[in-house]
């Protein structure tokens, strides 16, 4: 008996796996037998049954028995370029359709494919001017006893390939691995299997790779997907249920500092800001470390919530670390934090890579001696040289931009840190149920009072002039704008507009209107200087790449112009648009696009025009692009779903969640005898490890 994930033998033990194949497998992340078993086919080729040609529709795969009728040549008459055409006839017994096999570059087949013989044919068929044709095909001679050749009569898995790997080798290797195991351990409780008509683990893993029928393949995938989701839920819910039981109950009261800070604000907090603060406060007061996600649309006031919440622990003499994904943002946070908190006597420090030498040394000493209350910075906060005196609370802005490992490095600096993750990319429901299953979530849905939804215009070349005029009117009103382009300069490869040229162009369009150019190649100090000028209102517009995408908060900016908007993803567009509409002023977003739009780009622009709701946009993004891109999980390795799909499997996710809840309700510690197999899976080869082991 073995666990699917428990086979640690190296793949180099398998026949045919030399250095080249090993390298190919390594690119797929495969080094052990288990890794190989967990390689999911991209698709399957159904060669299980022979179909008559008459039933094969245009652009479908044909899997049929044919007799070769004749050879001929077509194409240019002069030169050697003529191409062999083999005419075949269906002999599957159910029709006599004819088909032309076009042998591009394979004229040698004239010798091997004999007229009058019977072959099994597998290939993709097209209809061209009434003639059925096939140019990509495989032919195998029918055996005399009428048996299928070995490539037929089955459903074949098609794996992703890298380097020298071939389908043949991968299939053989997986078969060999399966043959080393008599039986795989059962991973799902019997009751659950029976309730949802699932297979046992052994059968599921074997038939998933080599299914005898499409129905069985479907059942195997469902079984493995539910297993995967069930364990993911179990691991994440388990934390939660243990936490909940020991969490302190009763209201938590805001401290004097918090109240004082709220009093100084020139506006009132939104209902959601107040509710989130209450939730965070309660977590901070409990004995269990906080693990909370604060999600809210762009400009909904998350940062302010984070600052006020920091005051809750400061009054207990602890330190707070506030991390941002870029130096620019860290600096902006440091400034907004200082403006809000220094007057309350809070000591803030700003630490990034660009703080050097003596200044850095002094700062590090102050942090170590507890002379600083809140430290704001980028990933420089993780480095080993930073020693905190009493780090109690960690706030991470735009958490998905940090890798899991980086996050853990910081968490290690505090013994039991409270953690608040902020995200402006709202997490769709499927993701919040899975990836973030162990996080408590606070959501800011209400926008600060008086905010008007940004009006979005789609702009083509004909309406460009009018757009410039509209932005000009905003300048006259004393408002500011961003012009965003996808490229820094014109390197001659394409006809995309770029910031460098457009900066010059816009100077002519708006003579005497002060502006600046900003992009990632400028050094950090220069960027900061420009942003300060803009913030102070001395510049009317910035010509920028998407460096302004996240977090920049300039309430007086009312126009966002995005050129080649079709090139940006939905969440990037939403983030960029979120840089305006941050005050009571009416704001505008202009999405400029060219002529050749793909269907997907059209769909994205339509979503942007019709909606200002980040939650809706994130859902749409998930549908259009798939989940990894959105959460950054593809890069961070946070979530590796093999069988389940976050776009299609919501019903399975819900089953898994309910089942895991039910189980943990009865038996939070998984101590009952009947849950022993689950404990064993978790101990021996967990599909999802506890989060702290994940890095
Ligand atoms: N309740 C409120 N009423 C009015 N203005 C507010 C309120 N809360 C925050 N603001 C202001 O709105 C702007 C956006 O707030 P904040 O930067 O906290 O939002 P955010 O959610 O972090 O934004 P983003 O995700 O886009 O960076 C700031 O200028 C802030 O001072």
Summarised one tens digit per residue, pLDDT across range 504-520 is 999 999 998 999 998 88
Q: Output the residue whose Cα is nearest ligand 1's atom 3.
A: 448
Per-residue confidence (pLDDT) for residue 232, from 0 to 100 = 80
For CA atoms 576, 580, 586, 588, give the dihedral sign: negative
CA dist 386 and 361 (Å) reads 10
Which pair of structure tokens corresponds to residue 516? 């600046």
Whole-number percent of the chain with pLDDT over 90: 41
Which pair of structure tokens corresponds to residue 355? 């703080």
Per-residue confidence (pLDDT) for residue 694, from 0 to 100 = 30
**Ligand 1 in contact with 417 (CB < 6 A)?**
no
For CA atoms 306, 308, 310, 312, give the dihedral sign: negative
CA dist 514 and 360 (Å) reads 35
B/e letters for 342-371, b = 16+ CB within 10 Å, e = fewer, are: eeeebebbbbbeebeeeebeebbeebeeee
Span from the CA of 51 to the centroid of ligand 1 (angstroms)? 63
CATH 2.40.50.140 domain span(s) along the chain: 49-152
CA dist 4 and 37 (Å) reads 7
Query: Where is pLDDT greater, at 461 or 489?
Result: 461
What separation in angstroms does the CA of 125 have from each of 64, 117, 128, 132, 195? Answer: 11, 21, 10, 7, 42
Ligand 1 atom with the smallest distance to the CA of 336 is 31
Q: Is the pLDDT of residue 527 over 80?
A: yes
Ligand 1 atom with the smallest distance to the CA of 306 is 18
Span from the CA of 271 to the centroid of ligand 1 (angstroms)? 14
What separation in angstroms does the CA of 158 have from each of 18, 51, 165? Answer: 21, 21, 12
CATH 3.40.50.300 domain span(s) along the chain: 256-444, 455-611
Which pair of structure tokens corresponds to residue 270? 């939104």
Q: Output the residue whose Cα is nearest ligand 1's atom 18.
A: 301
Would you say 124 and 134 are in contact if contact means Cβ atoms under 8 Å apart? yes
**Ligand 1 in contact with 447 (CB < 6 A)?**
no
Assigned CATH for 256-444: 3.40.50.300
Q: Give me the chain's average pLDDT, please.
A: 83
Span from the CA of 456 to the centroid of ligand 1 (angstroms)? 21
Q: Output the residue whose Cα is nearest ligand 1's atom 4.
A: 448
Q: Output the residue whose Cα is nearest ligand 1's atom 15.
A: 301
**Ligand 1 in contact with 273 (CB < 6 A)?**
yes
The confidence band for 633, taking pLDDT boundaries of 50, 70 and 90, is very low
For residue 14, the surrounding DSSP H or E stretch is none
Span from the CA of 374 to the centroid of ligand 1 (angstroms)? 20
Phi/psi of residue 352, each to 5°? -135, 180
**Ligand 1 in contact with 269 (CB < 6 A)?**
yes
Task: Mention every residue, 6+ apart, whose C-beta is less than 8 A from residue 161.
Answer: 24, 167, 170
Ligand 1 atom with the smallest distance to the CA of 555 is 29
Per-residue confidence (pLDDT) for residue 628, from 0 to 100 = 44
What separation in angstroms does the CA of 531 have from each of 63, 397, 527? Answer: 64, 20, 6
Q: Is the pLDDT of residue 691 over 50?
A: no
Would you say 666 and 678 are in contact if contact means Cβ atoms under 8 Å apart? no
Q: Domain 455-611, what fold?
A: Rossmann fold (3.40.50)
**Ligand 1 in contact with 303 (CB < 6 A)?**
yes
The confidence band for 38, taking pLDDT boundaries of 50, 70 and 90, is very high
Q: Quick one: three-class SS letters along 234-256? A: HHHHHHHHHHHHHCCCCCCCCCH
CA dist 100 and 413 (Å) reads 70
**Ligand 1 in contact with 555 (CB < 6 A)?**
yes
What separation in angstroms does the CA of 488 have from each of 6, 39, 524, 532? Answer: 49, 40, 16, 21
CA dist 279 and 441 (Å) reads 9
The confidence band for 635, taking pLDDT boundaries of 50, 70 and 90, is very low
Task: Average the pLDDT over 222-239 and give the result.
Answer: 82
Task: Report pLDDT digits (tens) over 563-613.
Answer: 999 888 888 898 899 999 999 999 999 999 987 788 778 888 988 998 888
Span from the CA of 265 to the centroid of ligand 1 (angstroms)? 12
B/e letters for 178-200, b = 16+ CB within 10 Å, e = fewer, are: beebeebbbbbbeebbeeeebbb
Decide the pairing of beta strands 131-141 and 418-423.
Answer: unpaired
The confidence band for 632, taking pLDDT boundaries of 50, 70 and 90, is very low
Span from the CA of 378 to the centroid of ligand 1 (angstroms)? 21
- Residues β-bridged to residue 457: 590
CA dist 385 and 127 (Å) reads 69
Span from the CA of 305 to the centroid of ligand 1 (angstroms)? 9
Q: Is the pLDDT of residue 631 over 60?
A: no
**Ligand 1 in contact with 434 (CB < 6 A)?**
no
CA dist 671 and 233 (Å) reads 18
Which pair of structure tokens corresponds to residue 81? 């370029």
The answer to whether the complex's ipTM is over 0.85 is yes
Pocket perturbation via mutation, ligand 1, pick of 531, 553, 556, 618 by most ligand atoms within 8 A of CB: 553
Per-residue confidence (pLDDT) for residue 400, from 0 to 100 = 54
Ligand 1 atom with the smallest distance to the CA of 303 is 18
Span from the CA of 551 to the centroid of ligand 1 (angstroms)? 10
* Radius of gyration of the CA atoms of the chain, in A: 31
**Ligand 1 in contact with 553 (CB < 6 A)?**
yes
Task: Report pLDDT digits (tens) over 101-160.
Answer: 999 888 899 999 999 998 988 888 888 887 889 988 988 888 776 666 666 778 889 999
CB atoms within 10 A of CB 89: 16
Task: Report pLDDT digits (tens) over 269-314.
Answer: 999 999 999 999 998 988 777 878 888 888 889 999 999 999 999 8
Per-residue confidence (pLDDT) for residue 353, from 0 to 100 = 79
Q: Is the pLDDT of residue 241 over 80?
A: no
**Ligand 1 in contact with 302 (CB < 6 A)?**
yes
What separation in angstroms does the CA of 208 have from each of 39, 165, 197, 460? Answer: 11, 20, 16, 49
**Ligand 1 in contact with 426 (CB < 6 A)?**
no
Ligand 1 atom with the smallest distance to the CA of 305 is 18
**Ligand 1 in contact with 301 (CB < 6 A)?**
yes
Q: Could you tell me where the DSSP H helices lie in 454-521?
A: 464-476, 499-509
Span from the CA of 303 to the centroid of ligand 1 (angstroms)? 7
For residue 660, the surrounding DSSP H or E stretch is helix 650-666
Helix (H, G, I), strand (E, B) or coil at 15: coil
| Least confidently predicted of 328-337, 343-352, 378-387, 467-476 | 378-387
- Residues β-bridged to residue 442: 294
Phi/psi of residue 561, each to 5°? -105, 120
- The interaxial angle of helices 201-209 and 214-246, nearest 10 deg, is 130
CB atoms within 10 A of CB 385: 11
Task: Average the pLDDT over 95-106 and give the result.
Answer: 84
* 49-152 maps to CATH 2.40.50.140: yes
């Amino acid at each position: 008996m073995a666990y699917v994930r428990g086979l640690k033998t190296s793949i180099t033990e398998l026949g045919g796996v030399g250095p080249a194949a090993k390298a190919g497998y390594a690119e797929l992340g495969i080094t052990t037998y288990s890794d190989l078993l967990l390689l999911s086919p991209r698709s399957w080729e159904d060669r299980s049954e022979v179909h008559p040609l008459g039933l094969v529709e245009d652009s479908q795969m044909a899997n049929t028995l044919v007799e070769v009728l004749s050879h001929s040549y077509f194409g240019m008459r002069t030169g050697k370029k003529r191409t062999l055409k083999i005419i075949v006839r269906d002999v599957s017994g159910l029709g006599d359709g004819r088909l032309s096999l076009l042998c591009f570059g394979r004229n040698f087949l004239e010798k091997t494919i004999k007229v009058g013989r019977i072959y099994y044919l597998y290939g993709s068929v097209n209809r061209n001017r009434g003639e059925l044709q096939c140019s990509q095909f495989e032919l195998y001679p029918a055996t005399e006893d009428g048996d299928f050749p070995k490539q037929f009569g089955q459903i074949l898995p098609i794996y992703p390939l890298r380097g020298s790997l071939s389908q043949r080798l991968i299939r053989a290797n997986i078969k060999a691995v399966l043959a080393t195991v008599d039986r795989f351990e059962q991973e799902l409780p019997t009751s659950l299997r029976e309730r949802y008509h699932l297979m046992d683990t052994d059968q599921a893993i074997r038939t998933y790779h080599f299914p005898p029928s499409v129905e069985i393949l479907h059942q195997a995938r469902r079984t493995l997907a539910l297993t995967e989701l069930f364990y993911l839920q179990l691991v994440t819910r388990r934390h939660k249920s243990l936490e909940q039981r020991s969490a302190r109950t009763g209201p938590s009261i805001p401290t004097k500092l918090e109240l004082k800070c709220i009093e100084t604000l020139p506006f009132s907090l939104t209902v959601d800001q107040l509710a989130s603060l209450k939730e965070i406060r309660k977590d901070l007061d409990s004995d269990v470390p906080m693990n909370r996600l604060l999600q809210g649309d762009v400009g909904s006031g998350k940062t302010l919530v984070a600052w006020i919440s920091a005051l809750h622990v400061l009054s207990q003499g602890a330190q707070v670390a506030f991390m941002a994904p870029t130096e620019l943002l860290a600096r902006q946070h440091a400034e907004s934090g200082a403006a809000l908190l220094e007057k309350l006597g809070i000591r803030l420090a700003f630490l990034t890579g660009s703080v050097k030498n003596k200044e850095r040394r002094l700062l590090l000493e102050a942090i170590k001696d507890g002379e600083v209350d809140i430290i704001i910075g980028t990933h420089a906060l993780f480095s080993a040289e930073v020693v905190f005196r009493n780090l109690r609370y960690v706030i991470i802005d735009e958490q998905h931009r940090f890798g899991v490992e980086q996050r853990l490095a910081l968490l290690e600096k505090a013994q039991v840190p409270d953690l608040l993750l902020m995200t402006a990319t709202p997490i769709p429901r499927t993701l919040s149920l899975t990836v973030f299953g162990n996080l408590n979530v606070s959501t800011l849905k209400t926008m600060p009072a008086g905010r008007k939804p940004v009006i979005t215009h789609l702009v083509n070349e004909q309406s460009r002039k009018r757009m410039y005029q509209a932005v000009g009117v905003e300048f006259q009103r004393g408002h500011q704008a961003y012009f965003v382009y996808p490229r820094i300069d014109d390197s001659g490869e394409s006809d995309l507009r770029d910031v460098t040229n457009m900066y010059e162009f816009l100077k002519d369009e708006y003579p005497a209107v002060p502006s600046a150019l900003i992009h990632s190649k400028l050094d950090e100090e220069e960027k900061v200087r420009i942003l300060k000028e803009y913030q102070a209102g001395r510049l009317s517009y910035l010509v920028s790449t998407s460096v302004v995408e996240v977090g920049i908060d300039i309430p007086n900016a009312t126009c966002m112009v995005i050129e080649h908007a079709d090139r940006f993803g939905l969440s990037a567009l939403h983030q960029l648009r979120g840089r305006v509409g941050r005050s009571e002023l009416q704001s505008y977003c202009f999405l400029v696009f060219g002529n050749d739009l793909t269907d997907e780009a059209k769909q994205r622009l339509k979503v942007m025009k019709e909606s200002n709701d980040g939650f809706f946009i994130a859902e749409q993004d998930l549908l259009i692009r798939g989940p990894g891109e959105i959460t950054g999980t593809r890069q961070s390795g946070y979530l590796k779903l093999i069988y389940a799909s976050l776009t299609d499997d919501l019903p399975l996710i819900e089953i898994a969640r309910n089942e895991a809840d039910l189980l943990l309700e009865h038996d939070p510690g998984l101590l009952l005898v009947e849950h022993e197999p689950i404990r064993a899976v978790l101990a021996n080869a967990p599909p999802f490890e506890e989060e702290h082991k994940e890095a």
